[in-house]
Amino acid sequence: MSFESRTLAWLRAMLRRRTVDHEMDREIAAHIAMEEDRFKRSGLSHGEAHRQAIIAFGGIEQHKEAVRDERGTRVFGELTIDVRYALRRFRNHPGFAAAVIGVLALGIGATTAMFSAVDAVMLRPLPFPRPQELIALRSIHFPWDMRFFMGGPSRSAAALQPHDPRFPEVAAMHDIFAHVAGFAAGGLNIGDPSGPVRVRVGVVTADFFPTMGVSPVQGRGFTANEGLPDGPRSTVISYGLWQGRYGGRAVVGQPIVLGVKSYIIIGVAPRNFGFPERSELWVPLVVPLDPNIEEPLGRVMSPSDVVARLAPGVSASTAAQHLLLRWEQDAVEGRPPGFKPSATDGVEDVRTHGVMTPLRQNLVGDHGHALILLLGATGMLLLIACANVSHLLLSQATGRRREMAVREVLGATRSRVIRQLLVECTLLSFGGAVLGVALASAITGLLTRLMPPEVIGITPIEIDLRVMAFAIALALCSGIGLGLWPAFGVTSAAPVEAIKSGGARGATASTRLARRVLVGTELALTVTLLISGALLLRSFRDVVERDPGIHPDHVGSLEMAFPIATIKPMDPTIRSSTQLHDIFGLEQQRRRVDEMVDRMEQTLGITAAAAVDNLPLRGNEGQGLEAAFSAAGASPSPRGVTRGARIAKVTADYFHVMGITLLRGRTFGPGDDSLAPRVAVVNRGFAEQYWPGQDPIGHQFGYMERDSNAITVVGIVGDVRDKALDQDPTPQAYFPAHQDSPWAIVALVARGTLSPAQLLKAMQRAVHDVNPAQAVYSVSMMNDVIGLSVAPRRTNAMLLMFFALLALVLAVLGVYSVVAYGVSQRTRELGIRAALGATGNNLLGLVARDIGWSALIGTIAGVAGAWALSRVLASFLYSVSAHDPATFVGVPGWLLLATAVATLLPALRVLRVNPAEVMRAD
């Protein structure tokens, strides 16, 4: 009989155990009846015949067991008995069972939840075909289409082109790459009867879908033709958009208005495909770059993300060597002989950091470290939970030594008794796992905030079979690990002795040592967690308390993107930008923004309003352009070092609304229009960079293709931490909106005395009044914008501290129960001591000493652990030393205090011990 059919027979036997048993009963009954008939025929009485028949058959139950053995269902039968017995015990000791299950659920739940996040972000393969072939390339340069720049290809524009490999050349390296695609994430408004709807857009080069290994479920992907300037405007929509907006009808070939331009839908992406950043539709990225990509991206900026699929049989390292070679050739091309690239040059950068990384690593970045850190923390929490449960079981087990001994004397084998104890533990830990998984699924929503935005939606956090298997494995390991220890202690080779000694009384030396080790371990782990959590929390507080350079209270903000009328290649006869803007209706947009700002300022309760294209602390939402400048009288920059600054164009009241301090000079006024001389306001960092030690007011500079040194500095303002609160302010320059290029993306800000909800509503109304068709997004108070910018740091710190506090509670409970149990076990001994003249203090000292040393040693070990961990922690800290003395002394101090309280509360019971009563008892 084959293995499968045997397994099947066994399974059938298991499932039909009851029916099979019943059939066996019938068969044996028939046998005995026939034997009885035989005896009756030979003349025996009815009763005697029955008796003889049974004697002839032999022990019926014994034979039945033998048959069950043959079927292999006996162990299972015993297992059911064990399970039933265990459940009965739990019913009789509900407090014990609930405590164990609850504590284990905390540990298993926290660990499972963190594992689900790590699994989603780092372990599960990206949901693309052959994901190991996908790599991200560093710093590939996308050339601009020079036809769009003022005055044609100019020397200054050419100077902006770095000596990096260009995208078309890399894409043609077919010997190492099967496909190469550039992509960027942005947003566009879809025209809709009920008002425009903003959707997330992937701007991708023609080869994007083949690179990702994805083919549209309807229609087709982009062709090379669509990736060229002036190619047809086509779009591929997501499955979700197709179902939601079009109800799954045939859409290929239909027009769709995106922004102000009409596109033709050429395909529908497969279900669940939303790369990059949960894109809802894809439009072509043309190479060389067309400034019109500004529209979905909200910026004039070249995309820097390039993904490549390795050619079949080419390893990542071979491809990297080829590519580095290309970098080195390009770096010296057109340079004087003997040229050595400087440290800041692209080629040096890729030499140190590598030319490529696996796509997942590129998407996840440093986010993975935080997750691993938190997973480690939950692992520690689980260990503490196990230590607590272990102690509970140990206390239980000592009390059960007599029961176990009786069972052994009555004929249960030792392995049978151990198995029963293991069944109990496993059942308890499964209970913990079930509750833990429920707990984990409750907090996955919170965990999504820890995810790098680049992978949200690609690999969602979910409690799937893998995660369940993880939880069950945790439960099994902890169940068996926890159960074996007390099981061997409780069962004994000399059961009779155990019964005679009364079993329960007097903890043996080994279990007492075990308790001390448990307490020490719990405290050590808790100290480590608490110190780490406290350091992260202090960092978070320090970051939040950094002066952002703006006064965000009572300031509301909203953002919108403008459909830019197509910018046509430059007509060489047009020399002024105002002329150009009028032709394409861009002035109208400028007027509309002014009108919105005016309307806001006229609203009762709004004191000032302004527009800005670069809202501070909005993350990578498209603003934050860095530009290189040339400045008159500036100290020359070292060769190869690009000195840049973050620039923003603003309306006059911007500094007032945001509360940015004017240090010297003036801010902008209504006079700074397109006819007036060009002016700028800069921050201190900007002045220091170009004119160190000089008064910047009155100095002139220029940038990009504009006439050099045409812009005069008129004011100097305070630094704004516009990138992130934990990054030092960069050089910043502000330009009046009327003297700069038209708005592509604009944030409106307003300061007022209205409540936040009313303020934001009034702002939206003002926009709507001017243009009902204008879509706005990211409507929020500036305080929330700042809050969002520190959200990952806050979530990390809060979660770690939460785990640490849970650990603290468990550890203190552990200490309490160990001491309480110790006192209750030693009542007799303490009574005798009291009778012999020991004072209350003597007794207290005796009890406290028992735990005191292990607590102290555990705490010191924990401090050492935290010290060792600080290297890992350092990258998460801000302005707090990883060896911060206050934390390293304060936290253990508080913990020891808590331990002392947890020790003294139960220990005080010894003072109430009445010697006479104790002596009389048993």
Shortest Å, Cβ 380 to another protein? 51
Q: Which is nearer to another protein, 63 or 93 (CB)?
A: 63
Q: Does 81 bind another protein (CB under 8 A)?
A: no
Which listed residue (7, 46, 59, 502) binds another protein by CB under 8 A? Answer: 59
Size of the site for another protein (CB under 8 A): 27
- What is the CB neighbour count within 10 angstroms for residue 445? 9
Q: Which is nearer to another protein, 27 or 598 (CB)?
A: 27
Helix (H) / strand (E) element for 853: namely helix 840-873
Q: Does 50 bind another protein (CB under 8 A)?
A: no
**Cβ contact 175:322 at 8 Å:** yes
Q: Which is nearer to another protein, 35 or 454 (CB)?
A: 35
Continuous H helices in 702-773: 756-770
Q: Which is nearer to another protein, 24 or 544 (CB)?
A: 24
Q: Looking at 50-58, 112-120, 462-470, 541-549, which segment touches another protein (CB under 8 A)? A: 50-58
Shortest Å, Cβ 5 to another protein? 9
- Long-range Cβ contact pairs of 687-692 (< 8 A, separation 24 or more): 687/713, 687/716, 688/731, 689/643, 689/645, 689/731, 690/629, 690/631, 690/634, 690/635, 690/643, 691/631, 691/633, 691/634, 691/635, 692/635
Q: Does 11 bind another protein (CB under 8 A)?
A: no
Q: What are phi and psi of 716, to 5 degrees?
A: -130, 130
Q: Which of 99, 105, 94, 93 is nearest to 400 (CA)?
A: 93
Q: What is the four-CA torsion angle of 849, 854, 859, 865, rounded to 10 degrees?
A: 170
As beta bridge partners, residue 734 has 648, 681
- What is the CB neighbour count within 10 angstroms for residue 106? 25
Which listed residue (11, 19, 25, 26) binds another protein by CB under 8 A? Answer: 26
Q: Looking at 65-73, 773-781, 799-807, 858-866, which segment touches another protein (CB under 8 A)? A: 65-73
Q: What are phi and psi of 618, to 5 degrees?
A: -90, 15
Q: Does 9 bind another protein (CB under 8 A)?
A: yes
Instruction: Please report the DSSP string for 64-96 in residue order.
Output: HHHHHHHHT-HHHHHHHHHHHHHHHHHHH-HHH
> Would you give the DSSP letter of residue 119?
I
Q: Looking at 69-77, 508-516, 715-723, 855-863, which segment touches another protein (CB under 8 A)? A: 69-77
Q: Does 30 bind another protein (CB under 8 A)?
A: yes
Q: Looking at 55-63, 115-123, 593-601, 702-710, which segment touches another protein (CB under 8 A)? A: 55-63
Which listed residue (37, 192, 366, 769) binds another protein by CB under 8 A? Answer: 37
* CA pair distance 115, 795, nearest whole angstrom: 16
Shortest Å, Cβ 67 to another protein? 5
Q: Which is nearer to another protein, 27 or 728 (CB)?
A: 27
* CA pair distance 144, 415, nearest whole angstrom: 78
Q: Does 34 bind another protein (CB under 8 A)?
A: yes
Residue that is written with structure tokens 């045997």 in the block: 6
Shortest Å, Cβ 450 to another protein? 55
Q: Looking at 58-66, 362-370, 393-401, 785-793, which segment touches another protein (CB under 8 A)? A: 58-66
Q: Which is nearer to another protein, 31 or 340 (CB)?
A: 31
Q: Does 626 bind another protein (CB under 8 A)?
A: no
Q: Which is nearer to another protein, 51 or 828 (CB)?
A: 51
* CA pair distance 344, 349, nearest whole angstrom: 7
Which listed residue (8, 66, 197, 494) binds another protein by CB under 8 A? Answer: 66
Q: Which is nearer to another protein, 27 or 497 (CB)?
A: 27
Shortest Å, Cβ 48 to another protein? 17
> Would you give the DSSP letter of residue 641?
P
Q: Which is nearer to another protein, 65 or 769 (CB)?
A: 65
Shortest Å, Cβ 54 to another protein? 10
Q: Which is nearer to another protein, 62 or 510 (CB)?
A: 62
> Would you give the DSSP letter of residue 289?
B
Q: Which of 355, 351, 318, 356 is nearest to 175 (CA)?
A: 318
Q: Looking at 32-40, 412-420, 521-529, 624-632, which segment touches another protein (CB under 8 A)? A: 32-40
Q: Does 69 bind another protein (CB under 8 A)?
A: yes
Q: Which is nearer to another protein, 54 or 499 (CB)?
A: 54
Q: Which is nearer to another protein, 60 or 513 (CB)?
A: 60
Planar angle of CA 83, 87, 88, nearest 5 degrees: 115
Nearest-10 crossing angle of helices 367-399, 401-409: 60
Q: Which is nearer to another protein, 31 or 849 (CB)?
A: 31
Q: Does 337 bind another protein (CB under 8 A)?
A: no
Q: Does 24 bind another protein (CB under 8 A)?
A: yes
Which one-letter amino acid corresponds to residue 701? Answer: F
Shortest Å, Cβ 27 to another protein? 5
Measuring CA to CA, how many Å separate 114 from each of 362, 363, 545, 802? Answer: 21, 19, 29, 13
Shortest Å, Cβ 36 to another protein? 10
Q: Which of 615, 773, 770 is nearest to 259 (CA)?
A: 773
Q: Does 70 bind another protein (CB under 8 A)?
A: yes
Planar angle of CA 393, 398, 403, nearest 5 degrees: 105
Which listed residue (42, 62, 92, 620) binds another protein by CB under 8 A? Answer: 62
Nearest-10 crossing angle of helices 791-825, 885-907: 30
* CA pair distance 782, 549, nearest whole angstrom: 12
Q: Looking at 64-72, 400-408, 538-546, 564-572, which segment touches another protein (CB under 8 A)? A: 64-72
Q: Does 916 bind another protein (CB under 8 A)?
A: no
Provide the pairing of β-strand 662-665 with 711-717: antiparallel
Shortest Å, Cβ 112 to another protein? 42
**Cβ contact 844:911 at 8 Å:** yes
Which listed residue (27, 48, 547, 728) binds another protein by CB under 8 A? Answer: 27
**Cβ contact 152:572 at 8 Å:** yes
Q: Does 56 bind another protein (CB under 8 A)?
A: yes
Q: Does 75 bind another protein (CB under 8 A)?
A: no
Q: Does 63 bind another protein (CB under 8 A)?
A: yes
Shortest Å, Cβ 28 to another protein? 7
Q: How remote is the C-alpha of 505 from its chain's centroid?
A: 50
Shortest Å, Cβ 68 to another protein? 9
Which listed residue (16, 22, 31, 46) binds another protein by CB under 8 A? Answer: 31
Q: Does 67 bind another protein (CB under 8 A)?
A: yes
Shortest Å, Cβ 425 to another protein? 34
**Cβ contact 362:368 at 8 Å:** no
* CA pair distance 901, 237, nearest whole angstrom: 64
Q: Does 25 bind another protein (CB under 8 A)?
A: no
Q: Does 12 bind another protein (CB under 8 A)?
A: no
Residues numbered 863 to 892 that lie near another protein (CB under 8 A) are none
Residues 6+ apart with CB under 8 A from 699: 631, 632, 633, 690, 691, 712, 713
Q: Which is nearer to another protein, 29 or 889 (CB)?
A: 29
Q: Does 28 bind another protein (CB under 8 A)?
A: yes
- Interacting residues toward another protein by CB under 8 A: 1, 6, 9, 23-24, 26-28, 30-31, 33-35, 37-38, 56-60, 62-63, 66-67, 69-71
